Chain A
Amino acid sequence: MRRLRVVLSYIVAVLMIVVAVAALAGSNFLAAKLVAVTGIRVSPWYTGGEVANIIEHGSYQTLIHRPVFDALIDQATEGFVQLDWQPLAALPEYIDEDIDCFGNGNIDGHIKLDTRNNIAQFTSYSSQAVSLAGSYKLKDRVTIRVVLLRD
């Protein structure tokens, strides 16, 4: 029994070298497998969540994400909705749009956005769409977030 333990110890120790080489040399493959198996993704608090609606404007489009109230258990009382306008190169100087934050057909607010200097104004039409959290110019799009309150 003691001899078996000794042999097993050496086998496991040698296997650790294999583990090290595999983890380093096969990191891309293993990383893809990890994502496929676990289904992990970045929190919607950073990504903005899935796109719920796309409005075409000819040369550019408005992407309205789903409202984000995600929490560990249940939902947070305060959240946000993210809107993207893309592609950046095709955006007009001014954007003037009504927004349906919850995708229920009701207009929750109105956004005026100066795409040249990224200054945005938000007018709320609903008690659930509270205020503008911020407007941001990214490499490929202009993004705003509107603070929302849950029912």
Chain B
Amino acid sequence: MTNRVINPDILRPSAVSPLKVLLCSLPMLILTAFLISRGSMPVEPLKVVAFSMTYILINGLFFLMIYTGKVYHYRAILFITVAVAFIIAFGANLLEERGSMLLRTENTLAGDAPFCHLVIPAIIIPAVVTKTIIFPGTIIDRFASISGMLVLWLGASVALGRGWCSWVCFYGGLDEGFSCLCRKPVIKNIADQWRYLPWAVLLVVVLVSALTFSPAYCEWLCPFKTVTEFSAITSFKILVQTIIFLLLFISLVVVLPILTGRRIQCGLFCPFAAFQALTNKFNIFTIGINREKCVECKRCVKGCPTFSLDTVSVKQGKPLLSCTKCGKCIDNCPKQAISFRLKGIPVGVNTQSAKILFLYPAFTFAAAVGGGFIYGALIRVLKLITTGSMF
């Protein structure tokens, strides 16, 4: 394992003029102020500091994306920061409200469990057939209410497709963070067949959830239970579930991403990711590969964090359905053959416009969802530093 060295290209300005960069950043400056503060600017000094730090970080990253033309690097910084901030903010909120991160039967009876997008594929069939949601949350008017999260997911799915998984998901940054730790992957060859695993997991989860009328993925397979809320161990069954969560987290989110340099949980296991890939079918944004410029060096194939490119798809000039639009292949391509693209527009035409048009909705979601968690986490950390307590 070696330390990462900052590539000087990352800070090199693109062809875009500074005035254009500023003009492009201006709408985001206004939008993020409104979305992070949720309409009311903070007045307490501690909150003002936390807000300012969040605001500067988020807009600084957006500015650098436009200024340098490199999307992946700055998105990854934001994405990883959001995942860490989410754990801090979410955990601290649970500790404040419940006194622990345990989810007890009392909490499920009171509808206290915050709704999480990973359960969405499992709830659809029961929701359509019986109009009920098989999740112990609250329908409306609460933090992470079921309807609120569904609206967020629907909006992001229409706007970004599976871009959700690299711009909005607050778990994916963990996977990505660990995958960035090792500069040279220890495991380089992963058989193509593994790409079908998320679809198999999705099928099993959807069927088992419908038949048992309970969210099977949450109950048995979610690795992120390890770092969010988890059931109090009151029976042998819950002990087994807890061991499974822990093993999956260690293997899929920590060890394998470090060894492969890829997002193993997101690319090879997550059933929500497979489900979300379907939204790429109708989403306007995609990635285009200019066959005239491509020299088939396969850097994009080897580097794709979610296994969304293979030699066949490169020859076809487009990624697989599972593309998360993270931008890594675009930044990695030595011939600038890969770019963001709007469906209906030929590959390689107006790529700068396509990128800006994609970045606005993608970054708006990232800033609103992630910014909220960064802001919340910073408040907790600053409180801890200044008062000795997070609460």
Contacts and interface: CB of A to CB of B under 8 A. Distances in A.
A124 to B, nearest CB: 21
A35 B147 contact: yes
6 contacts: A10-B357, A40-B131, A42-B139, A43-B126, A76-B213, A143-B109
Interface string B138-152: 111100011110111
Contacts of A58: none
A17 to B, nearest CB: 5
A45 interface: yes
B133 A24 contact: no
Interface in B191-235: 210-211, 213-214
Interface of A: 5-6, 8-10, 12-14, 16-17, 19-25, 27-28, 30-32, 34-35, 38-48, 70-73, 76, 134, 136-139, 143
Contact of B146 (A16, A39, A42): A42
Nearest to A32: B140
Interface of B: 31, 34-35, 105-106, 108-111, 125-127, 129-141, 145-148, 150-152, 154-156, 158-160, 210-211, 213-214, 284-285, 342-345, 353-354, 357-358, 360-361, 364-365, 368
A31 B147 CA distance: 5
Contacts of A21: 31, 364
- Interface residues of B: mostly helix, strand, loop or mixed? helix
Contacts of B154: 23
Given A12-B284, A13-B284, 8 more contacts: A19-B159, A27-B151, A38-B127, A41-B133, A42-B138, A44-B132, A46-B135, A138-B106
A71 B134 CA distance: 11
A146 to B, nearest CB: 14
A48 B136 CA distance: 11
Nearest to A84: B109
Contacts of A32: 140, 147
Contacts of B160: 16
Contacts of A20: 155-156, 159, 360-361, 364-365
Nearest to A7: B344
B198 to A, nearest CB: 24
B213 A19 contact: no
B139 A40 contact: yes
A147 to B, nearest CB: 14
Interface of A, secondary structure class, is: helix
Contact of A23 (B106, B141, B151, B358): B151
Contacts of A17: 159, 357, 360-361, 364
Contacts of B111: 42, 46-47
A30 B140 CA distance: 11
Contacts of A24: 35, 152, 155, 364-365, 368
A61 B344 CA distance: 64
A1 B315 CA distance: 27
Given A24-B364, A138-B110, A45 B134 contact: yes
A130 B211 CA distance: 23
Contacts of B125: 72
Contact of B131 (A8, A31, A38): A38
B159 A72 contact: no
A13 B285 contact: yes
Given A46-B111, A138-B110, A31 B151 contact: yes
Nearest to A31: B147
Contacts of B354: 13
Contacts of B148: 27-28, 31
B134 A43 contact: yes
Nearest to B129: A72
A8 B344 contact: yes
Contacts of A31: 140, 145, 147-148, 150-151
A72 B132 CA distance: 10
Contact of B135 (A28, A42, A44): A42
A16 B285 contact: yes
B109 A136 contact: yes
A25 B151 contact: no
